[in-house]
Structure 1
Amino acid sequence: MTIRVMIVDDHPMWCDGIERDLLDEGFEVVATAAGVAAAVRRAAAVQPDVVLMDMHLPDGSGAQATAQLLAVCPATRVMVLSASDERDDVLEAVKAGAAGYLVKSASRDEMIAGVRATAAGQAVFTPGLAGLVLGEFRRLSASSDPAKPILSPRETEVLRYVAKGMTAKQIATKLFLSHRTVENHVQSSLRKLQLANRVELARYAIEHGLDGND
């Protein structure tokens, strides 16, 4: 199935370049927008699978656009693609519901792979940013001490790699497990936590600091 993408960016040359790259890789670019209001309006009309979201727009922030867009397009997944790697921008985007965050210095191949992973329900981050997000949410959750459904040690171990955007195949290789075993742990965690998909699972891990150490 062709992945339907919308690009939100107020720099026409950059937007055109990203659109060409996506079209060359077989994606369908269903809309573009240069601001928050236009992004929400056009997303509601076309219901894209993935939105590539800039963080700094003329009429607001990418975080504001993400929250408003997801309110009208709950099945859409947002991946931020921004020149900014500022801590506050990254955290605001994740809090607003973004599934991932890549900086614009990422390569073309990284961007393409990120769109595919986001469409598949994975959390995608530029290396280094995942650790920033995990660390911040661990700090915030430490004081609240929320009641957590009990996950097994292995489920917790798998979950922290899900939060880093790793695929089941990558996790299987990392932990010397079969692909099926990893998927079983993921599905078990989803059931225990009453979550719908990997994006929600990754967000849970971020919010509760279930990242552990490598």
Structure 2
Amino acid sequence: MVVDDHPMWREGVERDLTEAGFAVVASAGTGTEALARFPATQPDVVVLDLQIPEPNGVAVTAELVRQNAAVKVLILSASGEQADVLDAVKAGAIGYLVKSASRAELIGAVDRVALGDTVFTPGLAGLVLGEYRRLIDEPAGDSGAPRLTERETEVLRLVAKGLSYKDIAERLVISHRTVQNHVQNTLRKLQLHNRVQLVRYAIEQGLDTPGGD
């Protein structure tokens, strides 16, 4: 499913994906349309713009993942701002491309995301590392905030330097899949931290209910 509020851009992405052999089962121009069409079409991959009429791309990502944890969300946005990237990742997106990406980069990203791989650019790796450092340095403490292992940190640093997963695997003498798993684990931990924050907020506001786990 392709979600973008600019018809010409949306149609161009649909055309590129169709020509590459993907079946575009739905398209939408707003967050509301995307959420309405998702249950009936159940796409494997959603290519989603962040800046769409409400609910925005971050909120849509979170709701799609809540409805179907198997869906793969690839953000295709004009924004490369740190806050936007981190918000999308925390909401459950496993890929993030800026709209300056080439057609080949888009097709490659959809291919990888469809297989469950993470489209992790050097810039995104650097942002995630910075976010973990910020979490660890929070004066309020980080109890409940998941930490990165030494190997996960090492892998992210190498991604941030621009090394490919293949190069990292060769340098660390591990498999390509192991590198991929480390990268995916870092995303899951960041998403988990986001949920931990939400739970803390609910408890602080007296929104928690008894009987939950």
Q: TM-score, normalised by structure 2?
A: 0.74
Rg larger in structure: 2
1:141-160 Cα offsets, whole Å, 9 max, x none, are 34344576996x55764576
Counterpart code for 1:203 = L
Matched, 1:102 2:86: no
Among candidates 132, 137, 140, match of residue 135 of structure 2:
140
Which residue does 2:85 correspond to in 1? 90
Counterpart code for 2:52 = L
Describe the SS at the equivalent of 2:27. strand
Unaligned runs of 5+ residues in structure 2 are: 193-213
Among candidates 57, 60, 63, match of residue 55 of structure 2:
60
Distance 1:161 1:42 in 2: 39
Unaligned runs of 5+ residues in structure 1 are: 1-5, 190-197, 209-214
Please say if residues 58 and 88 of structure 2, whose CA atoms lie closer than 8 Å, have aligned partners that are also in contact: yes
1:149-182 Cα offsets, whole Å, 9 max, x none, are 996x55764576689998764432343x363xx5
Which residue does 1:117 correspond to in 2? 112
Deviation at 1:17, TM superposition (A): 0.6
Deviation at 1:99, TM superposition (A): 0.7
Describe the SS at the equivalent of 1:10. coil
1:73-95 Cα offsets, whole Å, 9 max, x none, are 22101010001112221111111
Q: In angstroms, what is the RMSD of aligned CA positions? A: 3.2
Deviation at 1:121, TM superposition (A): 1.6
Distance 1:154 1:36 in 2: 38
Which residue does 1:202 correspond to in 2? 186
Distance 1:185 1:133 in 2: 16
Seen in structure 2, the aligned counterparts of structure 1 residues 150 and 16 have a Cα distance that, compared at 3 Å, is closer
Among candidates 15, 32, 37, match of residue 20 of structure 1:
15
Distance 1:205 1:46 in 2: 29
Please say if residues 138 and 206 of structure 1, whose CA atoms lie closer than 8 Å, have aligned partners that are also in contact: no
Among candidates 54, 68, 74, match of residue 79 of structure 1:
74
1:46-104 Cα offsets, whole Å, 9 max, x none, are 11111111011112311011011111122101010001112221111111111121100
1:122-201 to 2 correspondence within 5 Å?
A: 122-143=117-138, 144-146=141-143, 157-158=154-155, 169-175=166-172, 177=173, 179=175, 183=177, 199=184, 201=185
Distance 1:27 1:164 in 2: 32
Among candidates 28, 34, 37, match of residue 33 of structure 1:
28
Seen in structure 2, the aligned counterparts of structure 1 residues 205 and 70 have a Cα distance that, compared at 3 Å, is closer
Counterpart code for 2:187 = R
Distance 1:57 1:122 in 2: 25
Counterpart code for 1:202 = T
Percent identity over the alignment is 50
